């Protein structure tokens, strides 16, 4: 019946079926993929976009338009084919026994299409499942040459890199702004093999021994019965574990602090955490800690912003990274080293260098800058690159080696192992994103997903059949050497050294290094998290831990929980490390988002020029109006319905739209909030939030009246009312350099107690 004459060939070229929409085929992409994938289809000179598409809105907020030489289309050729290259006449209808009859098993195209789709997903990472990444370049300053012979750190070297940022606990689809540690993993494709620096944005870890990793992760992940909560540490099992396993307290106070809710991946530090061992050309070794220092400074969201963004834009961090790169505001970090002598004790100032729950204060051992990382292009395909990239702390190059840190030692096993499940076999190093840029000559063969077509008969050594190769490197041929490190004479045992046992002095130092406003944030973070636990015993046990860190901290949290504060024991004096605070400096404002509220009824004459002025200082202007379209020739970026204050770093009031028909009359505006009849309640809300989140607010002209109506007057911290747009922009940008209007935060309540 498949030949049933009464069944017309649907969508057939004879016009008997529905007319297909006219889509201009995209050109082929010669050389866009590795050669073995090239398809034998003829490239055409067709324009990349159809005339319709070209005229439409830009595809991204930054307005980047795909260029003709950038292979940005999905099409590999002119005609649709099967995976085997046979051209297809139809991919929209399954082959049926009559138009209304059952589908035939012989429909090989249907089966190929559906079967491939059925297997499109792979397991997400067991930790760090949610991430975003970018390509870039690492330029060496050459300053590390005295401590390492790693070629990519030699003077003048430029190395291609791929960096993936991540949250730890949430699933792949969870929100970006969860309170969590962030992963910061960089693959350096060096001429001497791939080096992976697989770090975090917090310099210490939860545990001292890799054997505890399944425990801490099982405690932090959602509860196994209901699989809640997602991407959160505010639950019983997490606090149960960290309050019992007190070596986790140092890491925990870091992410209860603002470090747990970064403003942007671009504004995070990165840390290798463990102590590594470097070797120079003369064979001399030293112990080092790796640091990434963001040129934009280290900045965070407020907790309320983080929560709100989780709802309005769960992709906030990945959008921010991709948009900034697309707009040319390339994020940059400097790589720094803390260098310590490699003596047999491996201790510094009482700190065991093999203990990954301890830092070396920068004031004691300065971070010496050795190179600059610039992320300058976005991945083309999320799955192929960001999802399939496989990092491994054991990807080392000559001149960089590991130490006996038991956490690092366990990681050396875990990362290779996990990829076998995640990437479906042992050949993941052949995936394009994971391929070394140095020549590879291994004797690894076969296995699932083998891409190579190896020649020869002798993938073994020694052999006499394939030219006797491969030869191993000679002494001066830049091979990775296993250093003859002395291993302490010892008995085998399952035990931590005594030097790992102080769990509270460094969290105390961290607390002592914070400003008042940062301390207040820490207190509210603990109060929130513990307040979400059900078990009082867990809250009490964590308060007992806080009492061992600091009595003020403990009292503040206890008060918020309505529990008695346990008495602190005698606590050691600590020297604060000012480098740990995020408050007090000024930083570049590049890549910050400035909202410009306009009144479409009375557009500001200078709007277009103001828009340009914002772009000129590498900030992103976002015009906000009651409804979409353009105002004064400038496109409206957000309407009162699609925008929310939390997307903005600062707000400028160019005008004050009165409530229109589209205003939400039922919007619940708090009594006594800034605002007045005549102001759109959504604008009132926006200003209220910007005020509360300590963002600079500027206004001029009609916007100035609106600000005044909203209760914002000159002289209030971070409120800039001026005569013209440009002087106001300048004042706002200057303020933004401090990240927030810190004076606006209330005096922390804990210091009163």
Q: How far is the CB of 203 from ligand HDE (least distance, A)?
A: 9
In this structure, is the dihedral angle defined by the CA atoms of residues 101, 106, 112 and 118, taken in order, positive or negative? Answer: positive
Tell me whether residue 221 or residue 638 sits nearer to ligand HDE (CB atom): 221
Return contacts of 220-225, CB within 8 angstroms, 24+ apart: 220/168, 220/169, 221/169
Q: Check: CB of residue 509 under 8 Å from CB of residue 532.
A: no
Task: At 529, list the tokens.
Answer: 């998290």
Q: Which residue is it, tokens 């990954």?
A: 356
Four-point Cα dihedral 561, 562, 567, 568, nearest 10: 20
Is residue 618 close enough to count as binding ligand HDE by CB under 6 A?
A: no
Is residue 164 close enough to count as binding ligand HDE by CB under 6 A?
A: yes
Tell me whether residue 128 or residue 740 sits nearer to ligand HDE (CB atom): 128
CA distances 649 to 9, 226, 728, 735, 736, Å, are 57, 37, 15, 11, 8
Of the residues 76, 190, 200, 542, which one makes contact with ligand HDE according to CB under 6 A = 200
Contacts of 635 (CB under 8 A, 6+ apart): 57, 623, 629
Task: At 532, list the tokens.
Answer: 């979400």
Q: How far is the CB of 255 from ligand HDE (least distance, A)?
A: 13
Half-sphere exposure of 167 (CA within 13 A, CB side): 29
Of the residues 153, 210, 373, 554, which one makes contact with ligand HDE according to CB under 6 A = 210
Catalytic site residue from 200, 201, 378, 427: 200
Distance between CA atoms of residues 143 and 162, nearest Å = 22
Q: Check: CB of residue 712 under 8 Å from CB of residue 684.
A: no
Task: At 524, list the tokens.
Answer: 């509210």
Other beta carbons less than 10 A from residue 370's beta carbon? 24
Q: Count how many residues are written for the chain.
A: 753
Site for ligand HDE in 126-145 (CB under 6 A): 126-128, 131
Is residue 335 close enough to count as binding ligand HDE by CB under 6 A?
A: no
Tell me whether residue 185 or residue 561 sits nearer to ligand HDE (CB atom): 185
Is residue 171 close enough to count as binding ligand HDE by CB under 6 A?
A: no
Residues 588-607 vs ligand HDE: string with x where CB under 6 A?
--------------------
Of the residues 125, 289, 503, 638, which one makes contact with ligand HDE according to CB under 6 A = 125
Tell me whether residue 333 or residue 745 sits nearer to ligand HDE (CB atom): 333
Pick the stretch among 20-28, 121-129, 304-312, 327-335 that binds ligand HDE (CB under 6 A): 121-129
Tell me whether residue 94 or residue 418 sits nearer to ligand HDE (CB atom): 418
If you ran DSSP here, which 8-state letter would residue 96 be given?
B
Closest CA to 589 of 617, 622, 611: 617
Q: Check: CB of residue 696 under 8 Å from CB of residue 648.
A: no
Other beta carbons less than 10 A from residue 264's beta carbon? 22
**Residue 200 annotated among the catalytic residues of the structure:** yes
Pick the stretch among 85-93, 125-133, 364-372, 650-658 that binds ligand HDE (CB under 6 A): 125-133
Tell me whether residue 126 or residue 669 sits nearer to ligand HDE (CB atom): 126
Residue nearest ligand HDE by beta-carbon distance: 183
Task: At 459, list the tokens.
Answer: 């993938």
Q: Which residue is it, tokens 């479906």?
A: 424
Q: How far is the CB of 402 from ligand HDE (least distance, A)?
A: 12
Catalytic site residue from 128, 135, 251, 503: 128
Nearest-Å Rg of the Cα atoms of the chain is 29
Q: Check: CB of residue 250 under 8 Å from CB of residue 503.
A: yes
Q: How far is the CB of 623 from ligand HDE (least distance, A)?
A: 35
Q: How far is the CB of 396 from ligand HDE (least distance, A)?
A: 14
Of the residues 166, 194, 246, 338, which one makes contact with ligand HDE according to CB under 6 A = 166
Tell me whether residue 73 or residue 409 sits nearer to ligand HDE (CB atom): 409
Q: How far is the CB of 246 from ligand HDE (least distance, A)?
A: 18
Half-sphere exposure of 179 (CA within 13 A, CB side): 28
Is residue 213 close enough to count as binding ligand HDE by CB under 6 A?
A: yes
**Residue 521 annotated among the catalytic residues of the structure:** no
Residues 382-421 vs ligand HDE: string with x where CB under 6 A?
-------xxx---------------x--xx--xx--x---
In this structure, is the dihedral angle defined by the CA atoms of residues 259, 264, 266 and 272, taken in order, positive or negative? Answer: positive
Site for ligand HDE in 180-199 (CB under 6 A): 183, 185, 198-199
Pick the stretch among 101-109, 123-131, 592-600, 731-739 that binds ligand HDE (CB under 6 A): 123-131
Instruction: Please count the residues of this chain forming the interface with ligand HDE, following the rule CB under 6 A.
Output: 25
Tell me whether residue 254 or residue 745 sits nearer to ligand HDE (CB atom): 254
Residues 70-109 vs ligand HDE: string with x where CB under 6 A?
----------------------------------------
Q: Check: CB of residue 431 under 8 Å from CB of residue 452.
A: no
Closest CA to 194 of 452, 483, 430, 475: 430
Residues 267-286 vs ligand HDE: string with x where CB under 6 A?
------x-------------
**3-class secondary-structure state, position 87:** strand
Q: Which residues would be at the binding site for ligand HDE (CB under 6 A)? A: 125-128, 131, 164, 166, 183, 185, 198-200, 205, 210, 213, 273, 389-391, 407, 410-411, 414-415, 418
- For the annotated catalytic residues, the residue numbers are 128, 200
């Amino acid at each position: 019946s498949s030949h049933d004459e009464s069944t017309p060939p649907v969508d057939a070229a004879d016009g008997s079926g529905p007319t297909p929409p006219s889509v201009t085929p995209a050109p082929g992409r010669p050389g866009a993929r590795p050669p073995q994938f090239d398809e034998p289809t003829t490239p055409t000179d067709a324009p990349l976009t159809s005339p319709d598409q070209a005229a439409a809105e830009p595809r991204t907020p930054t307005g980047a338009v795909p260029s003709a030489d950038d292979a940005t289309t999905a099409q590999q050729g002119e005609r649709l084919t099967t995976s085997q290259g046979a051209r297809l006449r139809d991919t929209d209808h399954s082959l049926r026994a009559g138009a209304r009859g059952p589908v035939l098993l012989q429909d090989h195209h249907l089966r190929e299409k559906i079967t491939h789709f059925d297997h499109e997903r792979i397991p997400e990472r067991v930790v760090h499942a949610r991430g975003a990444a970018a390509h870039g370049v690492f330029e060496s300053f050459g300053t590390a040459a005295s401590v390492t012979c790693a070629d990519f750190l030699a003077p003048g070297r430029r190395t291609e890199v791929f960096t993936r940022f991540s949250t730890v606990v949430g699933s792949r689809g969870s929100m970006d702004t969860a309170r969590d540690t962030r992963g910061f993993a960089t693959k350096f494709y060096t001429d001497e093999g791939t080096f992976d620096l697989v770090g975090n944005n917090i310099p210490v870890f939860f545990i001292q021994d890799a054997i505890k990793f399944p425990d801490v992760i099982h405690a932090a992940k959602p509860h196994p019965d209901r699989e809640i909560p997602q991407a959160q540490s505010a639950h019983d099992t997490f606090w149960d574990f960290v309050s019992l396993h007190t070596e986790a307290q140092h890491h925990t106070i870091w992410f209860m602090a603002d470090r747990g809710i970064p403003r942007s991946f671009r504004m995070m530090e990165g840390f290798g955490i463990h102590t590594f061992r470097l070797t120079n050309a003369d064979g001399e070794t030293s112990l080092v800690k790796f640091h990434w220092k963001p040129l934009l400074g280290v900045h965070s969201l407020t907790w309320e912003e983080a929560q709100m963004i989780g709802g309005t834009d769960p992709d906030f961090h990945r959008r921010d990274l991709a948009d900034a790169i697309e707009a040319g505001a390339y994020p940059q970090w400097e790589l720094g080293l803390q260098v310590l002598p490699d003596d047999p004790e491996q201790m510094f100032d009482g700190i065991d260098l093999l203990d990954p729950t301890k830092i070396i204060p920068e004031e004691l051992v300065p971070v010496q800058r050795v190179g600059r990382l610039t992320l300058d292009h976005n991945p083309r395909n999320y799955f192929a690159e960001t999802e399939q990239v496989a990092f491994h702390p054991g990807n080392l190059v000559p001149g960089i080696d590991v130490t006996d840190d038991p956490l690092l030692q366990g990681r050396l096993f875990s990362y290779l192992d996990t990829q076998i499940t995640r990437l479906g076999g042992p050949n993941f190093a052949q995936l394009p994103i994971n391929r070394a840029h140095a020549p590879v000559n291994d004797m690894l063969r076969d296995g699932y997903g083998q891409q190579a077509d190896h020649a020869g008969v002798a993938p073994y050594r020694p052999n006499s059949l394939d030219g006797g190769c491969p030869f191993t490197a000679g002494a001066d041929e830049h091979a990775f050497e296993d250093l003859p490190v002395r291993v302490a004479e010892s008995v085998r045992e399952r035990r931590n050294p005594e030097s790992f046992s102080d769990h509270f002095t460094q969290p105390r130092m961290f607390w002592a290094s914070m400003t008042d406003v940062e301390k207040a944030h820490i207190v509210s973070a603990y109060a929130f998290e513990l307040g979400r636990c059900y078990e009082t015993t867990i809250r009490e046990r964590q308060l007992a831990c806080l009492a061992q860190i600091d009595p003020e901290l403990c009292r503040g949290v206890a008060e918020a929980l309505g529990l008695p504060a346990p008495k602190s024991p005698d606590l050691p004096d600590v020297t604060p490390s000012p480098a740990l605070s995020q408050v007090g400096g000024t930083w570049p404002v590049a890549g910050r988002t400035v909202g410009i509220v306009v009144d479409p009824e009375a557009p500001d004459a200078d709007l277009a020029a103001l828009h340009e002025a914002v772009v000129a200082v590498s900030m992103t202007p976002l015009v906000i109006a009651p409804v979409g379209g353009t105002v004064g020739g400038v496109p409206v970026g957000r309407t009162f319905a699609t925008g929310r204050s939390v997307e903005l770093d600062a707000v400028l009031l160019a005008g004050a739209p009165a409530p229109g028909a589209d205003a939400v009359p039922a919007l619940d505006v708090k009594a006594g909030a800034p605002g007045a009849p005549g102001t759109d309640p959504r604008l009132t809300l926006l200003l209220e939030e910007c005020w509360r989140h300590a963002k600079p607010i500027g206004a001029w002209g009609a916007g100035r009246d609106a600000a005044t109506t909203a209760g914002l007057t000159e002289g209030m911290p971070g409120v800039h009312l001026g005569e013209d747009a440009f002087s106001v922009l300048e004042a706002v940008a200057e303020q933004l350099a401090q990240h927030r209007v810190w004076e606006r935060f209330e005096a922390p309540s804990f210091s009163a107690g």
